Chains A and B, each alone.
Chain A
């Protein structure tokens, strides 16, 4: 059971990261490349949160029901870091989409093979 959990959670995170990388490397459509970046981001976030999880732990919030009972709590540090990572990921996606819009305006296509100016 424990081995299954380890493999499934870390495996899912790695699968998402590799899926995103595959989309970035293989897809021709610029929008799909941006989606790939975003998927790889989600995999990284899942990995971070999974590393900080502790069996039977609750969210690190001292609500009246939990305060003073000595309940096990998960590690709050990776969660705080993931919050930062999500915001940065949002900024990256927004700027990448803006660049896609700009390229579409110039070339009237989102297919990366038809944009020849980038080749030398």
Chain B
């Protein structure tokens, strides 16, 4: 009975959504929006090759600050939901739920790990020139750490160091924004105040490079912290202070 109700509900939803979307022609330029403004302004005035990055950091910088805050809140909420008072046993000898990986995986992970971090750093430093940016680069760095976390049972990240990286990166984002209030032409929050440079140069795009380096560090540290929190959970029943 429940199945019938839910499937018919989904069917009705599908019919109306599809009939709405079929009227939108695929692949035609029907949005008379702000596309041309961004496509003209971004390479000419701001000298940013990647228009998506330019929208995310320059035109919608405040929104990106909120996005970074949401990630920070998610990692904080994860910590508080999974919080458990540490017994002396747990503090000295934290346990990983995953079994020990084979020797081949361990040797391979050790070789790949530095290159993964390097690739992540490349992606967020070149965020204004090539596809990618701070969030993507941070996620790539976190995959490197995930590889190490699941390969070695004794590989643990220092949460104090992660907290400091997060704090410094977030603060530098806000400080760059506040510097825009003082040094930029129109005195706006997060406005570009550095010279724009040449199109397709590494040192172009003003504050985008600096902000994306900060975002890359912050996202990498946050996702690594989330993964480590989720993976370092002991089996139920081992801890006398369970629940």
Residues of A in contact, count (CB < 8 Å): 53
Shortest distance in angstroms between B234's beta carbon and chain A's nearest beta carbon?
10
Instruction: Mark A49-77 against chain B: 1 for CB-CB distance below 8 A, else 0.
Output: 01111110001111110010000010111
Shortest distance in angstroms between B68's beta carbon and chain A's nearest beta carbon?
8
Closest to A55 in B: B27
Q: Are A94 and B43 in contact (CB under 8 A)?
A: no
| Residues on A with beta carbons closer than 8 Å to the beta carbon of B52 | 60-61, 76, 79-80, 83
| Residues on B with beta carbons closer than 8 Å to the beta carbon of A21 | 10, 13
Which residues of chain A from 88 to 115 have a CB within 8 Å of any chain B CB? Answer: 88, 90-92, 94-95, 97-99, 101-102, 104-106, 108
| Residues on B with beta carbons closer than 8 Å to the beta carbon of A25 | 6
Q: Are A98 and B67 in contact (CB under 8 A)?
A: no
**Number of chain B interface residues as a range:** 35 or more
Which residues of chain B from 195 to 243 have a CB within 8 Å of any chain A CB? Answer: 199-200, 223, 226, 229-230, 233, 236, 242-243
How far apart are the CA atoms of A94 and B24 in the complex, in Å?
34
Chain B interface mostly: helix
Q: Are B27 and A77 in contact (CB under 8 A)?
A: no
| Residues on A with beta carbons closer than 8 Å to the beta carbon of B187 | none
The 9 closest A-B pairs by CB, nearest first: A91-B74, A55-B27, A60-B51, A80-B55, A6-B26, A10-B21, A76-B51, A98-B81, A62-B43
Given that A6-B25, A7-B22, A101-B82 are known contacts, is A77 also in contact with B63, CB under 8 Å in the complex? no
Q: Are A90 and B71 in contact (CB under 8 A)?
A: yes
Given contacts A61-B131, A90-B71, A105-B243, 11 further A-B contacts (CB under 8 A): A2-B27, A6-B24, A26-B3, A61-B130, A63-B49, A64-B200, A80-B56, A84-B67, A87-B70, A94-B226, A105-B236
